[in-house]
Amino acid sequence: MESAEKNKLFSDIVVRYSEKLYWTIRRIVLNHDDANDVMQNVFVKAWNNLEQFQERSKIYTWLYRIAINESLDFLRRKRDFVAYDTDLSDGVGSRLIADEYFDGDATQALLQEAIATLPDVQRIVFNLRYFEEMKYSDMSHLLNTSEGALKASYHIAVKKIHDYIVGK
Protein backbone atom coordinates (compact mmCIF):
# COMPACT_ATOMS: atom_id res chain seq x y z
CA MET A 1 0.00 0.00 0.00
CA GLU A 2 1.39 3.38 -0.99
CA SER A 3 1.92 6.04 1.66
CA ALA A 4 -0.71 8.45 0.28
CA GLU A 5 -3.26 5.65 -0.01
CA LYS A 6 -2.52 4.47 3.54
CA ASN A 7 -2.81 8.05 4.87
CA LYS A 8 -6.19 8.56 3.19
CA LEU A 9 -7.53 5.20 4.37
CA PHE A 10 -6.38 5.83 7.92
CA SER A 11 -7.77 9.35 7.94
CA ASP A 12 -11.16 7.99 6.85
CA ILE A 13 -11.03 5.36 9.62
CA VAL A 14 -10.22 7.97 12.27
CA VAL A 15 -13.04 10.27 11.15
CA ARG A 16 -15.57 7.45 10.93
CA TYR A 17 -14.81 5.64 14.21
CA SER A 18 -13.29 8.17 16.63
CA GLU A 19 -16.46 9.12 18.47
CA LYS A 20 -17.75 5.57 18.89
CA LEU A 21 -14.34 4.34 20.03
CA TYR A 22 -13.96 7.27 22.43
CA TRP A 23 -17.22 6.46 24.19
CA THR A 24 -16.46 2.74 24.30
CA ILE A 25 -13.10 3.49 25.89
CA ARG A 26 -14.51 6.21 28.16
CA ARG A 27 -17.09 3.85 29.61
CA ILE A 28 -14.29 1.45 30.51
CA VAL A 29 -11.65 3.85 31.87
CA LEU A 30 -14.19 6.51 33.02
CA ASN A 31 -11.91 9.55 32.77
CA HIS A 32 -11.83 11.86 29.73
CA ASP A 33 -8.07 12.35 29.69
CA ASP A 34 -7.43 8.64 30.20
CA ALA A 35 -9.86 7.83 27.38
CA ASN A 36 -8.02 10.21 25.04
CA ASP A 37 -4.68 8.62 25.96
CA VAL A 38 -6.02 5.12 25.37
CA MET A 39 -7.65 6.17 22.10
CA GLN A 40 -4.36 7.61 20.90
CA ASN A 41 -2.71 4.25 21.68
CA VAL A 42 -5.48 2.47 19.77
CA PHE A 43 -4.92 4.56 16.65
CA VAL A 44 -1.13 4.21 16.87
CA LYS A 45 -1.52 0.44 17.10
CA ALA A 46 -4.04 0.45 14.23
CA TRP A 47 -1.72 2.61 12.09
CA ASN A 48 1.24 0.34 12.75
CA ASN A 49 -0.78 -2.76 11.86
CA LEU A 50 -3.01 -1.41 9.09
CA GLU A 51 -1.18 -3.30 6.36
CA GLN A 52 -1.55 -6.56 8.31
CA PHE A 53 -5.35 -6.15 8.58
CA GLN A 54 -6.62 -9.14 6.63
CA GLU A 55 -10.29 -8.22 6.41
CA ARG A 56 -11.37 -11.47 8.08
CA SER A 57 -13.47 -9.22 10.29
CA LYS A 58 -15.04 -5.82 9.86
CA ILE A 59 -12.76 -2.85 10.44
CA TYR A 60 -14.83 -1.65 13.41
CA THR A 61 -14.56 -5.10 15.02
CA TRP A 62 -10.79 -4.97 14.64
CA LEU A 63 -10.66 -1.44 16.09
CA TYR A 64 -13.01 -2.32 18.97
CA ARG A 65 -10.86 -5.33 19.83
CA ILE A 66 -7.79 -3.10 19.94
CA ALA A 67 -9.71 -0.49 21.98
CA ILE A 68 -10.95 -3.00 24.53
CA ASN A 69 -7.53 -4.62 24.90
CA GLU A 70 -5.84 -1.23 25.29
CA SER A 71 -8.49 -0.15 27.83
CA LEU A 72 -8.01 -3.31 29.87
CA ASP A 73 -4.23 -2.94 29.70
CA PHE A 74 -4.61 0.63 30.92
CA LEU A 75 -6.76 -0.49 33.86
CA ARG A 76 -4.27 -3.24 34.75
CA ARG A 77 -1.39 -0.78 34.71
CA LYS A 78 -3.41 1.66 36.80
CA ARG A 79 -4.27 -1.04 39.34
CA ASP A 80 -0.64 -2.11 39.52
CA PHE A 81 0.35 1.51 40.14
CA VAL A 82 -2.32 2.21 42.77
CA ALA A 83 -2.08 0.51 46.15
CA TYR A 84 -3.64 -2.94 46.05
CA ASP A 85 -6.28 -2.11 48.66
CA THR A 86 -7.57 0.98 46.84
CA ASP A 87 -10.96 0.59 45.16
CA LEU A 88 -10.72 2.33 41.77
CA SER A 89 -14.51 2.50 41.50
CA ASP A 90 -14.83 4.39 44.81
CA GLY A 91 -16.29 7.86 44.29
CA VAL A 92 -16.83 7.48 40.54
CA GLY A 93 -20.18 9.29 40.68
CA SER A 94 -18.81 12.40 42.38
CA ARG A 95 -15.75 12.44 40.10
CA LEU A 96 -18.01 12.23 37.04
CA ILE A 97 -20.23 15.08 38.19
CA ALA A 98 -17.10 17.20 38.73
CA ASP A 99 -15.76 16.25 35.26
CA GLU A 100 -16.32 19.12 32.81
CA TYR A 101 -16.85 16.59 30.00
CA PHE A 102 -19.64 14.72 31.81
CA ASP A 103 -23.01 16.10 30.77
CA GLY A 104 -25.21 13.73 32.77
CA ASP A 105 -27.17 14.16 35.97
CA ALA A 106 -26.89 12.47 39.38
CA THR A 107 -28.87 9.44 38.17
CA GLN A 108 -26.51 8.86 35.26
CA ALA A 109 -23.53 9.32 37.60
CA LEU A 110 -25.03 6.69 39.95
CA LEU A 111 -25.46 4.30 37.00
CA GLN A 112 -21.80 4.84 36.01
CA GLU A 113 -20.76 4.31 39.63
CA ALA A 114 -22.68 1.00 39.68
CA ILE A 115 -21.12 -0.05 36.35
CA ALA A 116 -17.64 0.77 37.71
CA THR A 117 -18.11 -1.84 40.46
CA LEU A 118 -18.44 -4.63 37.90
CA PRO A 119 -15.53 -6.89 37.00
CA ASP A 120 -13.83 -5.77 33.75
CA VAL A 121 -15.44 -8.37 31.48
CA GLN A 122 -18.97 -7.79 32.83
CA ARG A 123 -18.47 -4.03 32.52
CA ILE A 124 -17.36 -4.35 28.90
CA VAL A 125 -20.23 -6.69 28.01
CA PHE A 126 -22.75 -4.42 29.73
CA ASN A 127 -21.39 -1.30 28.03
CA LEU A 128 -21.33 -2.87 24.57
CA ARG A 129 -24.85 -4.25 24.91
CA TYR A 130 -26.54 -1.40 26.78
CA PHE A 131 -24.86 1.69 25.33
CA GLU A 132 -23.64 0.45 21.95
CA GLU A 133 -26.62 -1.89 21.41
CA MET A 134 -24.16 -4.39 19.98
CA LYS A 135 -25.56 -7.79 19.03
CA TYR A 136 -24.32 -10.79 21.01
CA SER A 137 -23.06 -12.35 17.78
CA ASP A 138 -20.85 -9.32 17.11
CA MET A 139 -19.66 -9.27 20.72
CA SER A 140 -18.88 -12.97 20.49
CA HIS A 141 -16.58 -12.34 17.55
CA LEU A 142 -15.08 -9.26 19.17
CA LEU A 143 -14.39 -10.86 22.56
CA ASN A 144 -13.71 -14.42 21.37
CA THR A 145 -16.31 -16.03 23.60
CA SER A 146 -19.67 -17.71 23.21
CA GLU A 147 -22.95 -15.85 22.92
CA GLY A 148 -24.27 -17.83 25.88
CA ALA A 149 -21.41 -16.67 28.10
CA LEU A 150 -21.99 -13.08 27.00
CA LYS A 151 -25.72 -13.28 27.74
CA ALA A 152 -24.98 -14.69 31.18
CA SER A 153 -22.39 -11.94 31.85
CA TYR A 154 -24.84 -9.27 30.76
CA HIS A 155 -27.68 -10.56 32.93
CA ILE A 156 -25.41 -10.93 35.97
CA ALA A 157 -24.15 -7.37 35.37
CA VAL A 158 -27.71 -6.03 35.17
CA LYS A 159 -28.57 -7.74 38.48
CA LYS A 160 -25.44 -6.36 40.17
CA ILE A 161 -26.19 -2.86 38.88
CA HIS A 162 -29.79 -3.11 40.06
CA ASP A 163 -28.72 -4.33 43.50
CA TYR A 164 -26.13 -1.55 43.78
CA ILE A 165 -28.60 1.19 42.88
CA VAL A 166 -31.35 -0.18 45.13
CA GLY A 167 -28.80 -0.35 47.96
CA LYS A 168 -27.99 3.35 47.60
Mean pLDDT confidence for 86-91: 48
- What CATH number labels 105-168? 1.10.10.10
Q: What's the predicted TM-score (pTM) here?
A: 0.70
The CATH class given to the 1-88 domain equals mainly alpha
List, for residues 65-83, the tens digit of each pLDDT value: 899 999 989 988 887 554 4
Domain boundaries, the chain: 1-88, 105-168
The amino acid occupying position 78 is K
Our CA dihedral for 75, 45, 11, 9, rounded to 10 degrees, sits at -140
Residues 88 and 72: their CA atoms lie apart, in Å, by 13
Identify the residue with better confidence: 88 or 67.
67
Which of 121, 117, 124 shows the shortest CA–CA distance to 164? 117
